[in-house]
Structure 1
Amino acid sequence: MAVGETRFPAMPVIEGLRLGTAMAGIKKPGRRDLVVIEIPEGAKVAGSFTLNAFCAAPVTVAKQHLAECQARGEGARLLVINTGNANAGTGETGLRDARTTCAELARLAGVPAESVLPFSTGVIGEPLPMERLLAGLPQALESLSADAGAWQQAGEGILTTDTRAKGASVTLEMGERTVTINGISKGSGMIKPNMATMLAFVATDANIEQPLLDTLLRETVDRSFNCISVDGDTSTNDACMLIATGRGAAVASDEQVAIFRNGLQRVMTELAQAIVRDGEGATKFVTLQVQEAATREEALDVAFTVAHSPLVKTALFASDANWGRILAAVGRAPLHGFDVGRVTIDLGDVRLVEQGGRAASYTEEDGSRVMGEEEIVIRIALGRGDEGATVWTTDLSHDYVSINADYRS
Structure 2
Amino acid sequence: MAVGPGTLPTLHPVAGFRLGTTSAGVKTPGRQDLVVMKIAPGATTAGVFTQNQFCAAPVQICKSHLKKAMPSFLVVNTGNANAGTGKEGYQDALDVCQSVAEHAGVALDQVLPYSTGVIGEKLPTERIMPAVPAAFNALTEDGWLDAANGITTTDTRPKAFSLQFDYRGVLITLTGISKGAGMIKPNMATMLAYVATDAKIEAQLLQSMLSRSADLTFNRVTIDGDTSTNDSCMLIATGASGVEVTETDSELFEEFSNALDKVMLELAQAIVRDGEGATKFVTISVEQAANSAEALKTAYAVAHSPLVKTALFASDPNWGRILAAVGYAGVDNLDVDALQIWLGDTCIVENGGRAQGYTESAGQAVMSREDITIRIILNRGNKQETVWTTDLSKDYVSINADYRS
Superposition TM-score, scaled by structure 1 size = 0.97
**In the alignment, what sits opposite 1:354?**
350
Mapped partners of 2:210, 2:3: distance in 1 = 27
Equivalent residue in structure 1 for 2:158, among 157, 162, 165: 165
Mapped partners of 2:39, 2:335: distance in 1 = 53
Mapped partners of 2:209, 2:50: distance in 1 = 18
Letter in 1 for 2:251: E
Equivalent residue in structure 2 for 1:146, among 128, 133, 141: 141
Equivalences for residues 185-264 of structure 1 within 5 A: 185-195=178-188, 198-248=191-241, 249-252=243-246, 253-264=249-260
**In the alignment, what sits opposite 2:116?**
121
Secondary structure at the residue paired with 2:228?
coil
* Contact 1:8–1:152 (Cα < 8 Å) also in 2: no
| % identical aligned pairs | 58
Kindly indicate whether residue 13 of structure 2 is the aligned counterpart of residue 20 of structure 1.
no
Equivalent pairs counted in the alignment come to: 402
Unaligned residue ranges in structure 1 (runs of 5+): 70-74
**In the alignment, what sits opposite 1:83?**
78
Displacement after TM superposition at 1:219 (Å):
0.8
Displacement after TM superposition at 1:196 (Å):
5.7
Mapped partners of 1:377, 1:123: distance in 2 = 33
* Contact 1:300–1:389 (Cα < 8 Å) also in 2: yes
Equivalences for residues 9-408 of structure 1 within 5 A: 9-69=9-69, 75-147=70-142, 150-195=143-188, 198-248=191-241, 249-252=243-246, 253-408=249-404
* Contact 2:183–2:190 (Cα < 8 Å) also in 1: no
**In the alignment, what sits opposite 1:72?**
none
Q: Could you say what the CA RMSD is over the residues aligned between the two structures, in angstroms? A: 0.8
* Contact 1:50–1:193 (Cα < 8 Å) also in 2: no
Displacement after TM superposition at 1:210 (Å):
1.2
Letter in 2 for 1:379: R
Displacement after TM superposition at 1:290 (Å):
0.5
Secondary structure at the residue paired with 1:340?
coil
* Contact 1:185–1:200 (Cα < 8 Å) also in 2: yes
Displacement after TM superposition at 1:195 (Å):
3.4
Mapped partners of 2:120, 2:281: distance in 1 = 31
Structure 1 residues 28 and 197: CA distance shift in structure 2, 3 A: closer
Letter in 2 for 1:138: P
Mapped partners of 2:367, 2:90: distance in 1 = 47
Displacement after TM superposition at 1:9 (Å):
2.1
**In the alignment, what sits opposite 1:7?**
7
Unaligned residue ranges in structure 2 (runs of 5+): none
Query: What stretches of structure 1 move > 6 A for 4+ residues in a row?
Result: none
Mapped partners of 1:17, 1:310: distance in 2 = 42
Secondary structure at the residue paired with 2:79?
strand
Measured against aligned partners, the alpha-carbon deviations of 1:258-285 in whole angstroms (never above 9, x if no partner) come to: 0000000000000000000000000000
Measured against aligned partners, the alpha-carbon deviations of 1:347-373 in whole angstroms (never above 9, x if no partner) come to: 001100001000001000101111111
Letter in 2 for 1:133: I
Measured against aligned partners, the alpha-carbon deviations of 1:313-363 in whole angstroms (never above 9, x if no partner) come to: 000000001000000000000211111111100000110000100000100
Mapped partners of 2:111, 2:297: distance in 1 = 37
Mapped partners of 2:14, 2:379: distance in 1 = 47
Mapped partners of 2:228, 2:124: distance in 1 = 21
Measured against aligned partners, the alpha-carbon deviations of 1:202-222 in whole angstroms (never above 9, x if no partner) come to: 000001111211111011000
Displacement after TM superposition at 1:126 (Å):
0.3
Secondary structure at the residue paired with 2:286?
strand
